[in-house]
Structure 1
Amino acid sequence: MKGIVVEKVGGPFTLVDTLDKPKPSSTQVLVKSLVTAINPVEGYMQGTGLLVTAWPIVLGCDASGVVVEVGDDVKKFKEGDHVFGCTRLGVPGHSTFQEYFLMDELLTFQKAASITVEAAATVGVGLLTACLALVVGTKIDLEQGSAADPNEWIIVLGGAGSVGQYAVQDSGNSCSFYEMVLTASQAAKLCGYKVLASCSPSSDEFVKNLGADATFSYKLPLKDQLAEVESFTKGNYLRCFDASAMATETGMEALAQGGDTHAEVKYFATTNGWSTIEPKNGIEVCAVDLGMIGRSGSDKSQVDRDIEGFIPKLEKYLCERLLKPMGYEIVGDVGVAEVLKGLDAFNARKGGEKKVLVRLAAE
């Protein structure tokens, strides 16, 4: 089997054709990789070794493909089904930069006919991270129109510069800020909330087009950012999601100094899984950790249980187009070797408004 291998920490990405095809366990499916996304986390694992469980390793965690083999106890899928999602990060056999990879049955999305295989490859990491942040972290109900007050705001903090754009670090979260605005805005608005996002002034219109109801500049001094938040929301908020992992102070101060003054508790979620956040009275903090998806085995982690609960609802919303995939660009032609071109293109652009995708095989 062909794949893109990294032999050791800091080693180059190299094409090989000597890999063994993985064998699914009783609760897994084997997937033919059709389209894989390139995420910041791949370069991070290659350069630091964090999240990698064994060397040499094939990387890649966000893809769409077709099921070619099912485990004995799998009920949701059959051979020939099209699937997508986020696989186990840094675990041999599960990585998407190879011809075939493993997915855990209940952590996998079934692709609807209304979604292309390319669009499906943009969904997994971003949507699951946003749901972990909003549903688990800020305690919203993932049901259409579930917000008690349609004028309540959720604050999504980020930035479109090279620092604010990607939040990887130890947590394994691997989304661009644009993905987070798109997915968080769609999920929040689906549930009936309004979204205020921070971004660079040059990205203001683009971020609004992704779904934010209003924006303010993260480049302003902190006191001015807090004034902007109060001006837009009139204090009607108690939830904040730091999608950039770089705006902890802004989010925590916005909740501590403003928002719903009658609320007993406010909620701060972040993709920053490596810094200690000083607690503040009345604020509940949640650090999203998608990097541990699927790693717990039969003794399921809370992350896995949460994701299993999200996926049926998210499949329905995606099928009904209430949630939409991210924009993307295809790099290269078709084949496993094209992943190397995708990695080069991703690194050369240092972020961007669209997901970088590579086609590994034809359907």
Structure 2
Amino acid sequence: MASHRALLFDGPGLPLEIRQRPTPPVGPNQVLIRIQACGVNPVDWKTADLGWCVTQWPATMGCDGAGVIVAVGSDVTRVRVGDRVFMNGWMDNPDTCTFQEYALMEDSMVGKIPDFMPIQEASGISMASFTAFVGLFHETGAEVPLPPNARAHVPEDSFLNYNHMDTGASENYQWPPDLSKFGWCITVLGGSSSVGQFMIQYARIAGFRKILTTASPSNHAYLRTLGATHCFDRTATASDIAAIASPTTFQASAVGTNQPQSTEYTPLVFDAIGSTQTATMGVDILSCLTPVPMSRILVSPSVEDIPTVVEDVDYRGIYALVGALWDLSLPYFIGMEEWLAAGEIVPNRIQVVGTVEQAHEALAMSRRGVSGVKLVMTMP
């Protein structure tokens, strides 16, 4: 095939059109995927409006996608033609973008979809779940609960081999992980967002005993099924949340905890929204807590929205692109394959907007904001 259909635009703010673009050749370690569905993320409308990360015009977009492998490179052994996979493209390499008929990916950057899962559900997994994965395990040092098969693919020089260990050998992972340094507690602001839902599930799998989250009351029951232990309305005050996040409260309510809890812990807040409002709330919650002598951690997808620096609050922004974090991509995708197949992690609930021809409408909906669902388009 010499070319294929793609959603293209010629500059920031210019019309989005379905046109032809060249189909790239498949390299030795690459796979060509026939995209069947693609997830919509805020970065997509920001790319359309502002030209974020665009390296050449005309440009396409799309980070989330799922489809069927139609060609594999000569050195590819993990996947094969006909496999249904989900993937994570990145904007500065248009061949990998998902708002087009075919996308080219490294074989380490795709995950196989369980047979029981509709491909539309799988199309919204990668970006939000990888952002949460990086935010919790890369930025905080919390132990990664990778399944054994995924752990075997961790490169020797990966940061994954050094959490809580002296030897640097992946087989020496401490399990269950020691989360006492966080008071066994994490607060997720925006739990019903795509990123927030995956963060709650990772926190549950990792072993956090108290998982606090903020969301609209209509989403509370669902978030509890994912693992949230305490749900707050978005109007809750920082002091209300901090009262539950305190390890003193946890010590009194923890099941099977008979030993005194150390007061030396690191309060941990994850801002799944990345706005000035939620970042400020995160700082306010942390400011209500008084760890001695360790600092407090606020993880956010958007460091630009971090408010004025507060003493002892450690701000950590997330740069969650699989193309930039090679040591994470294969362990993440293999781990996610196993978690999905076992039902340990479930995708976001989805809302199918239409086909890629309706991208303008889908981007407008994302720009306005949605709650509790992932917007998805199909590729006819």
* TM-score computed with the length of structure 2 as normaliser: 0.77
Q: Does 1:22 align with 2:41?
A: no
Deviations 1:146-172 (A, max 9, x none): 34469821111137xxxxxxxxxxxxx
Asked whether the equivalents of residues 185 and 245 of structure 2 are also in contact (C-alpha less than 8 Å), the reply is no
Counterparts in 2 of 1:248-267, with a 5 A limit? 248-258=279-289, 261=291, 264-267=294-297
Cα distance change on mapping 1:100 and 1:209 into 2, 3 Å:
same
The code of the aligned residue for 2:198 comes to T
Match of 1:197 in 2: 213
* TM-score computed with the length of structure 1 as normaliser: 0.80
Distance, in Å, in 1 between the alignment partners of 2:272 and 2:103 is 29
Counterparts in 2 of 1:63-78, with a 5 A limit? 63-78=65-80
Match of 2:184 in 1: 152
Match of 1:138 in 2: 140
The code of the aligned residue for 1:7 comes to D
Match of 2:154 in 1: none
The code of the aligned residue for 1:337 comes to E
Match of 1:240 in 2: 269
**CA RMSD, 1 decimal:** 2.9
Q: Does 1:337 align with 2:357?
A: yes
Cα distance change on mapping 1:209 and 1:153 into 2, 3 Å:
same
Deviations 1:234-292 (A, max 9, x none): 68863221112133333344345426x457454332111324666666554321112x4
Distance, in Å, in 2 between the alignment partners of 1:341 and 1:88 is 22
Match of 2:156 in 1: none
How far apart are residue 71 of structure 1 and its match? 2.4
Asked whether the equivalents of residues 4 and 97 of structure 1 are also in contact (C-alpha less than 8 Å), the reply is yes
How far apart are residue 47 of structure 1 and its match? 0.6
2:333 pairs with one of 311, 317, 324: 311
Distance, in Å, in 1 between the alignment partners of 2:35 and 2:128 is 19
SS in 1 for 2:22: coil
Cα distance change on mapping 1:108 and 1:273 into 2, 3 Å:
farther
Match of 1:49 in 2: 51
Asked whether the equivalents of residues 10 and 57 of structure 2 are also in contact (C-alpha less than 8 Å), the reply is yes
Match of 1:165 in 2: none
Distance, in Å, in 2 between the alignment partners of 1:81 and 1:158 is 34
Match of 1:13 in 2: 16
Match of 2:258 in 1: none
Distance, in Å, in 1 between the alignment partners of 2:230 and 2:266 is 14
Distance, in Å, in 2 between the alignment partners of 1:276 and 1:179 is 20
Match of 2:347 in 1: 325
SS in 1 for 2:38: strand
Q: What is the percent sequence identity of the aligned residues?
A: 23
Give 5+ residue unaligned stretches, structure 1.
Answer: 160-176, 295-300
Asked whether the equivalents of residues 238 and 285 of structure 2 are also in contact (C-alpha less than 8 Å), the reply is no
Asked whether the equivalents of residues 86 and 113 of structure 2 are also in contact (C-alpha less than 8 Å), the reply is yes
Structure with max Cα Rg:
2
Distance, in Å, in 1 between the alignment partners of 2:142 and 2:249 is 21
How far apart are residue 42 of structure 1 and its match? 0.9
Counterparts in 2 of 1:162-311, with a 5 A limit? 177-193=192-208, 194-201=210-217, 203-227=219-243, 229-230=245-246, 233=250, 238-246=267-275, 247-258=278-289, 261=291, 264-275=294-305, 283-290=313-320, 292-294=321-323, 301=324, 303-311=325-333
Give 5+ residue unaligned stretches, structure 2.
Answer: 147-174, 252-262
Distance, in Å, in 2 between the alignment partners of 1:356 and 1:279 is 34
Asked whether the equivalents of residues 65 and 83 of structure 1 are also in contact (C-alpha less than 8 Å), the reply is yes
2:378 pairs with one of 356, 359, 362: 359
How far apart are residue 342 of structure 1 and its match? 3.8
Cα distance change on mapping 1:350 and 1:198 into 2, 3 Å:
closer
